[in-house]
Each structure stands twice: as structure tokens, then as C-alpha cells.
Amino acid sequence: MLKNILDNRDEYQPGLSIDCVIFGFHENQLKVLLVKTKHPDKWALPGGFVPINEDIDQAAVSVLHARTGLKGIFLRQFYTFGAVKRNENHFSNRVLNFGGILSEEGKWYFSRFVTVGYYALVDLMQTIPQPEGKNEIVEWIDHNVVPDLILDHKEILDKALETLRMELNLMPVGYNLLPEKFTIPELQKLYETILGRKLDRRNFLRKITAIGILTKLDEKKSNVAHKAPNLYSFDRDKYNEVVRNGLHQGW
């Protein structure tokens, strides 16, 4: 992959890259999609370089589709990372040799790259992680136990989570992270997992109901030990309207 990009480096915008924080929610865990190759030993966020004939947002969409197989998912640009030495010494000779790249050829990789951060919210159960070649691993990992990451990818992940938490006060979440039918406790658990703290059950129900994005279904959750809770779904039109117009409440 590195060799192929280097051979075609004139097709990419110099000094510019994209890194994507892809969040999914499963079994009460907020997970992030991470990538690992044999060299280096650390994990990384999915990302790539920006083709000169492609808009930055479209390049991010291309990365997400290539990694998840999904289209039309929630995607938001949240920050630009441009520290002078952010990728200093990242591409060691061992990495270049593994990619079949001579040190002289690899100078392009040693140059300064400014990266644009995007975060995405996806239905984990609908996602099929896509590795690039047999030497790569792509896995969902709980955001609380993320291993060592390359470069400043931990900073990028932390900033994405900070942004998501802040934007919970400005927009609803859940449509892209939960199954089509869900219970109020499941929705509350999603918010608690993102925020990293407990929420009062009655206050949460009052606030989430007041937003007007939920449709109560004539169904109850099956296979539960106690009283079966009601199932809900999102009213997509109202949900999208609130996303466009924003919220005016806190959690």
C-alpha cells in the first residue's frame, strides 16, 4: 500500500491527510474501529491521503466506505491537527523496508502532513470491517481500552470523543448507533456511555421525549427477565430536522 501511494504521489495533495474516528455501539460499549499492520506494532485510526481531484469531505466518505462498506452514514469534520513534528520519526527504516521502499524514496513520507479529523457514527452490526491486504487487521475496540496508537492518533481520538460529548447538547444521537427498534433504557445507556457518567432516569425520559424524535411502537422487547419494556424507533424526518436546527438543552 505504501509503495503504491509513493509511486503515484503526484496524484495526492502534498502535505494533507485524513484521519477518521469511527464510533459504533454494541453491548453497552462505545467502540472505535482501529487498524493495525505488522509494521509498526501500534494501532492506528483509519485514514489516508487526499487525491488532488477529490474534495476533502468526499475523500473522508471514500475512506469510510472502504473501511466499513457503508454509505450515507453520519460524518462530521471536527478538528485539524497540524503540529510541526506530528509525524516525526514515524516512518522508520523498518517500516519503509517492510513496504519495499528505499530510504531516499521515502522522503515524501517524512515531510510534514496536516491531517483533518472526522468522526462517524455507524451501526456496528451493519458494518463489515475491511482490511487492506492480508497483512492488515481491522477491529472494533472498546474506547476505554484502546491500545497504543501511532503518531498523535490518541489525541485525535480524545478530541473526537470530547467533541461528540459536547455536541450531545446540540443534537440527538442514536439513529446511527442503535438498531431500528430499541428501548428507552438502551438509549439512555448509549448517552451514559458517551458521557461517561450516570443520568437520572426520569430526567432523561422527560428530556428525550420533549425533543419529539421518538415513536412509541406497539411492541415490547422480548426475551427479558423482568417486565418487558416498550420498544421505540426514531422518526427520521423529525430526527433530521432536529439535527439541522440544533438542540437547546444539556444532559
Q: What is the pLDDT of residues 6-37, one digit of tens each?
A: 667 778 888 899 999 999 999 889 999 999 97
- Let me know whether 142 and 26 are in one domain: yes
Q: What is the DSSP string of 52-82?
A: TTS-HHHHHHHHHHHHH---S-EEEEEEEE-
141, 167, 193 - which closes a domain: 167
- HEC readout, 85-123: CCCCCCCCHHHHHHCCCCCCCCHHHHCCCEEEEEEEEEC
Is 148 a domain residue?
yes
We report the CATH number of the domain holding residue 209 as 1.10.10.10
Indicate if 62 and 126 belong to the same structural domain: yes
Q: If you search the block for the grid coordinates 443520568, which residue do you land on?
A: 199
For the chain, the maximum distance between any two Cα atoms, rounded to a whole number of angstroms, is 68
Give yes or no for residue 110 having a pLDDT over 90.
no
Strands (E), the chain: 12-26, 29-37, 47-51, 74-81, 114-122, 136-142, 214-220, 230-234
Confidence of residue 192 (pLDDT cuts 50, 70, 90): very high
Q: What mean pLDDT do residues 143-161 have?
A: 94
Let me know whether 53 and 104 are in one domain.
yes
Instruction: Fill in the amino acid letter for 211.
Output: I
Peptide linkage before 229 cis (omega within 30 of 0): no
Question: Please, are residues 229 and 185 in contact by the beta-carbon 8 Å criterion?
Answer: yes
Residues 153 and 208 in one domain: no
CB 36 within 8 A of CB 43: yes
Residues 97 and 210 in one domain: no
For the whole model, what pTM was predicted? 0.87
Is the pLDDT reported for residue 39 higher than 70? no
Domain residues for the domain of 140 are 2-167
Q: What is the pLDDT of residue 53?
A: 93
| 147 vs 144: CA distance, rounded Å | 9
Q: Residue 36: CA atoms inside 13 Å, Cβ hemisphere, count?
A: 13
- Burial category of 223 from C-beta neighbours within 10 Å (exposed 0-12, middle 13-18, buried 19 and up): exposed
Closest listed residue to residue 94, CA positions, set 41, 132, 22, 142: 41
Asked whether 171 and 243 are in contact (CB, 8 A), the reply is yes
